A and B are shown apart, each in its own frame.
Chain A
Amino acid sequence: MADTITNDMSIMIGGDAGQGVESSGAGFCLALARAGLHVFALQDYRSQIRGGHNFYQIRLGERPRYSHSDPVHLLIALTPESVALHLDNLAEGGAVIFPDKFQIDEAPLKQRGLFVDALPLMAIAEEHGSRLMVNTAALGAAAGITEFPLEFMESVIRDNFARKGEQIVDSNLKVAQAAYTLARERYGSDFGYRLRPVDGAPKRMLINGNEAIAMGALAGGCRFISAYPMTPGTSVFEWLSALPHEYGVVIKHAEDEIAAICMAIGASFAGARSMTTTSGGGFCLMVEAMGLAGMTEVPLVIVEAQRGGPSTGLPTRTEQSDLLFAINAAQGEFPRIVTAPGTIEECFEAGWRAFNLAEKYQCPVIVMTDSFLASSLRTLELDAIDFAKVEIDRGATLTYEDLDQLTDGYRRFELTESGISPRAIPGHPKGVFAAASDEHDETGHITEESENRVRMMQKRMHKLAEAETEMRAPALYGPQDAEVTLVCWGSTFGACREAVDEINAAGGSASVLKFADLWPLPAEATERALRACRRTVAVEQNYTSQLAKLIRMTTGIDMDRTLNKYDGRPFAPEEIAAALGQEVVSGHKA
């Protein structure tokens, strides 16, 4: 091949569940990040622990990457099936690496101009270590074919296998070296895609959305988390659970999601900044208790990492189909706040900001992510997670010193102009109160008296109007006067942003309007932003265009077109760009 492309490619590792596809992919990503490259990595797996095809797709470059992208330039196939399944994803001039024991008909691959080579990966692994090290051999070969200096792979091997002992580390290093040398000998500099370390690149983190939310929650003062494991929300809980005890975060794996949210409500009632994490199915179970938090004005943070529904749906796959549910969940009317970070940086901020919103407005706050944002890895600059920017705002929470000053009898649900009542933490002699899920008066006593009911409804609902004043306007990315504006929320922002860059680079004119504060939707700001758009296309990972519906409900403004995807696979930028190029876009008018 005449031209070689350096530091701009996509790499895929495919194999069966249980073969270490994820750990190999994550290891490769870390090596690339340590070499100063920007990485975006998508995990695609099924809801089973052994067997079934999985893949890991890594996109890398010298500038930040916000999405995965097709085609793929290098495929590492750990099963014969991986070759067949991903053949169509491969770019011309791309390469496939697989162990030589696979029976693969190479002719059609070679016809497509692909570098195809069966490498004795298993033999290398067995000679220098054991059969278990075949993935290490594959990574070594991948480094060899791309001329990626092996030292970066080696540093990751050392770190990842350190706890298994020196012998395992040494064997893996030998396996990687042997495979690397073989690949260099076979290919020399023939392969058209190269990987080079970036001189002077700063140290960067390789992190996913769930980890960023958990870090934000920690810095934001979360000191209690109770949850029930449910993909893809679990890793927020696991990350906080793994913290050293000195941080003082009490964790509780509950018997079910109902107990999980109830424990968090109890802890918050007692005075701790508390959260629970789940996915849509678990959130369904939490709904009644969320209403309790609404009625009794208990601050609460719920992280809802959406996945493909309905019911068990697509357990390991992505979707944005719970938005209208989250906004409307539970009987009766009460204030709640719904935010949806669109990037990993925003996940960190959403993690700590949610606690401030919850305590300020004394209501549930739902942070919505999805499988794609929760589990995709991206390189982040160290200062993108800025602990110095974290602020703690406990709103009208009374300190014991405040309570000492009280002369009158304390009224937990005192009627105020903002609807927000001074909140005592139980335990002070002057702050004794009872709260009830029944309608109650200012002191908390149960009453069904009509005038009181009206006042209390108005008090609670007024908090929603107060909260709306600090909800953020949708953010515009791209030119002000674009021909087409993609309207999105959450994780689709990455693909929308790259699609827009691609369109604009090719002489088109497009922008993205990204919503992050979804409920209460800031009506005026939304209307202003949309009136400034020429043509709008709502891009959502759902069937019914839920953001588009929400916008219409709040502002009366219709999207011009909608672009929907509900196969559980995240939008790729190329898909969006291609759809915009068509006259008719598949989808459903909101």
Chain B
Amino acid sequence: MVTRLDPKVFDAEAEVSWCPGCGDFGILRALKLALAELDIQPHQVLVVSGIGCGSKLPDYMAINGYMTIHGRPLPIATGAKLANPEMHVVVVNGDGDSYGIGGNHFVQTCRRNPNVTQVVENNQIYGLTKGQYSPTSDKGFVTTTSPDGAIELAFNPMAVALAAGATFIARAFSGEPKHMAQMIVEGIKHRGYALIDVLQPCVTFNRVNTYDWYRKRIYHLEEESYDATDREAAWTKAHEWEERIPLGILYRIEGLPTYEDQVPTLADGSPVGRLMELTKRPRPEQYESQKEQFF
């Protein structure tokens, strides 16, 4: 993949702690490729993550990064975007982080539509805590905390995002970083919230949903005559799982205003822009009129 910018600008000297063969390597590579393809420089992007194996990703890149706490990167990213809409804001977190502990933030972000791109490293298991079932684990999945098989139905991020009003919903596979990079490129180019759910095998703790398991099931929507603006078709595709798993853009609607577009105070300047102009002594006269409401 020849990109507009050399992806090496995003390389960092950190020691990567992921297991050999981890699906997160593909995600790291795809994110670098996507940013390079979009000619986004390291200082023009903020990557916010939560907690989990995959949330260490910002540490392995030369970008503005914020590795936060479990489940909370979406509201943190939303706040950063509202403070500085010029910044490209990308969230990278896992299935437990996004769909479990951060589930409410996920739903609220879908309906809020900030211009934030989220890449979910969905390995259907808790890896960093050594193998407990996650919100996306299939029913019956046996782990240390579900010795008799998970009882709950698996969380369906595609369907939930669609129901909650997300304007861009895509799925990628960690074994196909170039396709994934393309999905991230489209997600960042999309004006509004973009979800890219990435099927990401955990080679250490998930012995069911392996590279082979996914490869037997995945297919590309791009190769079919599929209309991603058709909400009902997307609803159907969102529920394909057992036999066939669709990759690509399931749903995309352009031209809707982002959350930031609709914030009147952002119309002529951002909080960060204004604060860079803050002087040691603010002009008192600009505030004096506020006293009148108290007479």
**CB contact between B282 and one of A206, A264, A386, A387 (< 8 Å): that residue:** A387
**CB contact between B280 and one of A252, A260, A263, A393 (< 8 Å): that residue:** A393
A395: min CB distance to chain B, Å: 12
Q: How far is the CA of A281 from the CA of B42 in the complex (A)?
A: 39
B46-A223 in contact (CB<8A): no
- Among B146-202, those with CB < 8 Å from A are none
B3: min CB distance to chain A, Å: 19
Closest B residue to A382 by CB, please name it: B291
A272: min CB distance to chain B, Å: 4
- Among B250-274, those with CB < 8 Å from A are 263-267, 269-272, 274
Question: Is B37 at the interface (CB under 8 A from chain A)?
Answer: no
Question: Is B51 at the interface (CB under 8 A from chain A)?
Answer: yes
* Most chain A beta-carbon neighbours within 10 Å: one of B69, B76, B86, B264: B76
A248-B274 in contact (CB<8A): yes
A437-B82 in contact (CB<8A): no
A387-B287 in contact (CB<8A): yes
- When A272-B275, A434-B58 are in contact, do A245 and B80 touch as well, CB less than 8 Å? no
Question: Is A428 at the interface (CB under 8 A from chain B)?
Answer: yes
Question: Is A513 at the interface (CB under 8 A from chain B)?
Answer: no
B48-A211 in contact (CB<8A): no
Q: How far is the CA of A380 from the CA of B291 in the complex (A)?
A: 11
B207: min CB distance to chain A, Å: 28
By a CB distance below 8 angstroms, the chain A residues around B47 are: 434
- When A252-B82, A270-B84 are in contact, do A387 and B284 touch as well, CB less than 8 Å? yes
By a CB distance below 8 angstroms, the chain A residues around B287 are: 215, 218-219, 387
A221-B278 in contact (CB<8A): yes
Closest B residue to A34 by CB, please name it: B295
By a CB distance below 8 angstroms, the chain B residues around A394 are: 278
By a CB distance below 8 angstroms, the chain A residues around B108 are: 255, 259
How many A residues are at the interface, by size bracket?
35 or more
Q: How far is the CA of A425 from the CA of B273 in the complex (A)?
A: 11
A248-B76 in contact (CB<8A): no
Question: Is B75 at the interface (CB under 8 A from chain A)?
Answer: yes
By a CB distance below 8 angstroms, the chain A residues around B87 are: 270, 426-427
B46-A426 in contact (CB<8A): yes
**CB contact between A445 and one of B44, B59, B265, B271 (< 8 Å): that residue:** B59
Bits for A243-263, please: 1 = Cβ < 8 Å to B, else 0.
101011111101110111011
A353: min CB distance to chain B, Å: 14
By a CB distance below 8 angstroms, the chain B residues around A289 are: 69, 72
Question: Is A399 at the interface (CB under 8 A from chain B)?
Answer: yes
A169: min CB distance to chain B, Å: 18
By a CB distance below 8 angstroms, the chain A residues around B44 are: 427
**CB contact between A264 and one of B77, B79, B266 (< 8 Å): that residue:** B79
Closest A residue to B47 by CB, please name it: A434
A308: min CB distance to chain B, Å: 28
Closest B residue to A273 by CB, please name it: B275
B75-A259 in contact (CB<8A): yes
Q: How far is the CA of A251 from the CA of B259 in the complex (A)?
A: 12
* Most chain B beta-carbon neighbours within 10 Å: one of A215, A291, A387: A387
- Among B220-271, those with CB < 8 Å from A are 263-267, 269-271
- When A250-B263, A270-B272, A436-B59 are in contact, do A262 and B83 touch as well, CB less than 8 Å? no
B104-A256 in contact (CB<8A): yes
Closest B residue to A254 by CB, please name it: B75
Q: How far is the CA of A138 from the CA of B75 in the complex (A)?
A: 49
Closest A residue to B269 by CB, please name it: A248
A296-B66 in contact (CB<8A): yes
**CB contact between B68 and one of A247, A437, A444 (< 8 Å): that residue:** A437
B80: min CB distance to chain A, Å: 4
A572: min CB distance to chain B, Å: 25
A437-B272 in contact (CB<8A): no
- Among A359-400, those with CB < 8 Å from B are 380, 382, 385-388, 390-394, 399-400
**CB contact between B76 and one of A224, A247, A266, A445 (< 8 Å): that residue:** A266
Question: Is B125 at the interface (CB under 8 A from chain A)?
Answer: no
Question: Is B63 at the interface (CB under 8 A from chain A)?
Answer: yes
Question: Is B212 at the interface (CB under 8 A from chain A)?
Answer: no
By a CB distance below 8 angstroms, the chain B residues around A431 are: 43
Question: Is B2 at the interface (CB under 8 A from chain A)?
Answer: no
Interface contacts beyond A270-B272, A434-B67: sample of 13 additional A-B pairs, CB < 8 Å, sorted by A: A259-B104, A266-B66, A269-B66, A292-B69, A292-B72, A387-B287, A392-B278, A393-B280, A427-B87, A434-B59, A434-B61, A434-B66, A435-B65
Those 3 A-B pairs whose CB atoms lie nearest each other, nearest first: A266-B79, A434-B65, A263-B79
Of the A-B pairs whose beta carbons lie under 8 Å apart in the complex, a sample of 16, sorted by A's number, is A33-B295, A262-B76, A266-B75, A266-B78, A266-B79, A270-B46, A273-B271, A274-B83, A289-B72, A388-B284, A426-B84, A427-B272, A433-B65, A434-B65, A434-B67, A446-B59
